[in-house]
């Protein structure tokens, strides 16, 4: 085990200044996270996590830091690292590491070796609960430290890609403890994936390139929840949206929404901005690069950097240079320039100016995360190893907290209505 990997505080040159800035970012986020605030108050009073060690691999920036502190406020010891080499804010990581119950190993710009060493450092804390975004922590525990599994109550997974991997692992009979599919809840998927990915991906691309959406032909690869959000928000900013899909019902849905639906082979020649959201590999490959227009922008909004085949692009290119901060230009033999944003890593978090999803939607996602951790501590033994849907009442609880904070009132079923909905014998 790597018991030598240093925490972020040991890696920063001016720790105090970094911590102050990180703390300032966190205070701003906190002010807009009423769900985490309400849960924190409950956890401070009840101390549900006393004696638990929570291991986390997530995008370590201000909003995530509020989740980490919320869990620590409930009595947990927390060890955290990043889930992407480019999404960490070192100042926030430093501020977290100053907390007496929190150790942060997250650092921006780590190479593969450091990334996994930091995950091992989290595992060194022998977590009793894991909170993951992308499943790298669960994978490392199962592959390298299976002896810890007996001591693990369960876990929670943030994102589509992670849940997909966990379900594959579960289907193979390889997942040895229960994990909640936080991503799949209404409070997460209908807001974070749709609005969060839509807004933050487009904002990051626009800020990084300083280019307009108006009148652009924007190709959105994948029409899942993330793709829907990106397509809708791009159309809302006056882009002409083209959707590519492999799933016939989703392709039809995109068509009926009024988008052009094309195979990538055809979309490649017409698009001006390409945004991948599929979660699958090899979505934009050599044949596509060969047809693209001069000056196109290529960006990925999926969890991993596998959707755009950058090896093939590097191979095709006769020259490559940093055109702007966060934009790498690849020049082809005939002079065309193809511009890749944020190294093809998830663009809403990995570009230099990226801030991740908006605060409000992360409050919801992290509210569900925190409620899942509480459920594991309270009722963990009720869940067998495998992927579990989050109990619907927990998701509703988070929605009610948010509605109350927004001052939105809503109706409840009457007893007669409830009886009617539960019965099968009220016909014509
Ligand atoms: N995500 N986190 C942020 N902390 O700023 N932004 C997006 C943040 C999460 C989001 O929930 C998504 O499912 C996941 O990142 C993809 O890795």
Q: What is the mean pLDDT of residues 69-90?
A: 98
Task: Enumerate the β-bridge partners of residue 102.
Answer: 78
Ligand 1 center from residue 421 Cα (angstroms): 37
Q: Which atom of ligand 1 is nearest to 193's Cα?
A: 13
- Give the pLDDT score at 82: 98
SS3 content of the chain, % helix, strand, coil (to 5): 50, 15, 35
CA–CA separation, 195 vs 256, rounded Å?
20
What is the torsional sign of CA 312, 317, 318, 320?
negative
The answer to whether residue 16 scores a pLDDT higher than 70 is: yes
- Give the pLDDT score at 4: 82
pLDDT digits (tens, 9 = 90+) for 85-109: 999 999 999 999 999 999 999 999 9
Q: Encoding tokens for residue 9? A: 């505080």
pLDDT digits (tens, 9 = 90+) for 22-69: 999 999 999 999 999 999 999 999 999 999 999 999 999 999 999 999
Backbone angles phi, psi at 370, to 5 degrees: -65, -40
133 lines ligand 1 (CB under 6 A): yes
- Stated as kind and residue range, the H or E segment containing 386 is strand 386-388
316 near 169, Cβ under 8 Å? no
pLDDT digits (tens, 9 = 90+) for 268-303: 999 999 999 999 999 999 999 999 999 999 999 999
- Stated as kind and residue range, the H or E segment containing 56 is strand 53-57
CA–CA separation, 298 vs 216, rounded Å?
13
Ligand 1 center from residue 195 Cα (angstroms): 12
- Mean pLDDT across the chain: 97
Ligand 1 center from residue 135 Cα (angstroms): 13
pLDDT digits (tens, 9 = 90+) for 304-320: 999 999 999 999 999 99
Ligand 1 center from residue 357 Cα (angstroms): 6
> At a CB cut-off of 8 Å and minimum separation 6, what does 163 contact?
157, 181, 183, 184, 387
Q: Ligand 1 pocket check: which of 96, 196, 229 to mutate, most ligand atoms within 8 Å of Cβ?
A: 196
Ligand 1 center from residue 348 Cα (angstroms): 8
Helical ranges in 98-172 per DSSP H = 112-123, 136-144, 160-171
pTM exceeds 0.85, yes or no = yes
Q: Which atom of ligand 1 is nearest to 159's Cα?
A: 13
Burial class (CB in 10 A: 0-12, 13-18, 19+), 428: exposed
pLDDT digits (tens, 9 = 90+) for 180-238: 999 999 999 999 999 999 999 999 999 999 999 999 999 999 999 999 999 999 999 99
Q: Ligand 1 pocket check: which of 104, 132, 133 to mutate, most ligand atoms within 8 Å of Cβ?
A: 133
Q: Ligand 1 pocket check: which of 96, 346, 357 to mutate, most ligand atoms within 8 Å of Cβ?
A: 357
- Tell me which DSSP letter residue 345 carries: S
The answer to whether residue 113 scores a pLDDT higher than 70 is: yes
Q: What is the mean pLDDT of residues 56-83?
A: 98
CA–CA separation, 11 vs 15, rounded Å?
9
357 lines ligand 1 (CB under 6 A): yes
342 near 351, Cβ under 8 Å? yes
pLDDT digits (tens, 9 = 90+) for 389-414: 999 999 999 999 999 999 999 999 99
33 lines ligand 1 (CB under 6 A): no
- Tell me which DSSP letter residue 401 carries: H
Q: Which atom of ligand 1 is nearest to 134's Cα?
A: 17
- Give the pLDDT score at 428: 83
Q: Which atom of ligand 1 is nearest to 365's Cα?
A: 11
Buried b (16+ CB within 10 A) or exposed e, 246-282: eeeebbebbeeeebbbbebeebbeebbbbbbbbbeee
Burial class (CB in 10 A: 0-12, 13-18, 19+), 319: exposed
CA–CA separation, 81 vs 315, rounded Å?
33
Q: Which atom of ligand 1 is nearest to 84's Cα?
A: 17
Cβ neighbours, 10 Å, residue 38: 21
64 lines ligand 1 (CB under 6 A): yes
- Give the pLDDT score at 3: 61
134 lines ligand 1 (CB under 6 A): yes
CA–CA separation, 80 vs 103, rounded Å?
6
The answer to whether residue 159 scores a pLDDT higher than 90 is: yes
- Give the pLDDT score at 1: 43
E strand residue ranges, 209-267: 217-221, 240-244, 260-261
Ligand 1 center from residue 78 Cα (angstroms): 19
The answer to whether residue 421 scores a pLDDT higher than 60 is: yes
120 near 142, Cβ under 8 Å? no
426 pLDDT band, cuts 50/70/90, is confident
Tell the residue number behind the tokens 């969060």, with chain if given.
196
61 lines ligand 1 (CB under 6 A): yes
The answer to whether residue 2 scores a pLDDT higher than 70 is: no
- Give the pLDDT score at 427: 86
Distances from the Cα of 185 to the Cα of 38, 190, 281, angstroms:
20, 8, 25
């Amino acid at each position: 085990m790597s018991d030598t990997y240093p925490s972020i505080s040991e890696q920063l040159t001016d720790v105090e200044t970094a911590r102050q800035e990180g703390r300032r970012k966190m205070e701003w986020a906190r002010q807009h996270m009423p769900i985490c605030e309400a849960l924190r108050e409950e956890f401070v009073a009840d101390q549900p996590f006393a004696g638990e060690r929570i291991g986390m691999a997530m995008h370590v920036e201000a909003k995530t830091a509020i989740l980490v502190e919320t869990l620590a406020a409930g009595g947990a010891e927390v060890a955290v690292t990043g889930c992407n080499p480019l999404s960490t804010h070192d100042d926030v990581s430093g501020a977290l590491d100053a907390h007496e119950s929190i150790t942060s190993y997250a650092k921006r710009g780590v190479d593969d070796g450091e990334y996994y060493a930091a995950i091992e450092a989290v595992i060194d804390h022998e977590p009793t609960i894991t909170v993951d975004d992308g499943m790298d922590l669960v994978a490392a525990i199962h592959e390298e430290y299976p002896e810890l599994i007996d001591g693990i109550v369960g876990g929670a997974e943030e994102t589509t890609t992670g849940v997909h991997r966990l379900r594959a692992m579960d289907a193979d009979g390889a997942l040895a403890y229960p994990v909640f599919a936080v991503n799949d809840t209404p409070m997460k998927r209908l807001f974070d994936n749709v609005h969060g990915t839509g807004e933050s991906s487009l904002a990051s691309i626009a800020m990084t390139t300083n280019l307009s959406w108006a009148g652009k032909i924007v190709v959105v690869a994948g029409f899942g929840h993330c793709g829907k959000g990106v397509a809708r928000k791009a159309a809302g900013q006056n882009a002409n949206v083209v959707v590519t899909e492999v799933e016939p019902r989703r392709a039809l849905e995109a068509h009926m929404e009024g988008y052009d639906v094309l195979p990538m082979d055809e979309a490649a020649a017409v698009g001006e901005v390409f945004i991948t959201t599929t979660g699958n590999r090899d979505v934009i490959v050599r044949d596509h690069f060969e047809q693209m227009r001069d000056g196109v922008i290529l960006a990925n909004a999926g969890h991993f950097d596998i959707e755009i085949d950058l090896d093939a692009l590097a191979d095709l290119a006769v020259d490559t240079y940093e055109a702007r901060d966060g934009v790498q230009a690849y020049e082809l033999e005939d002079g065309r320039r193809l511009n890749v944003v944020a190294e093809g890593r998830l663009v809403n978090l990995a570009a230099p100016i990226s801030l991740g999803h908006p605060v409000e939607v992360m409050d919801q996602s992290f509210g569900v995360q925190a409620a899942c951790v509480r459920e594991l501590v309270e009722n963990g033994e009720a869940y067998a190893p495998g992927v579990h849907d989050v109990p619907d009442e927990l998701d509703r609880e988070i929605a009610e907290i948010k509605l109350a904070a927004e001052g939105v009132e809503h109706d409840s079923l009457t007893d007669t209505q409830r009886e009617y909905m539960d019965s099968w014998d009220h016909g014509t």
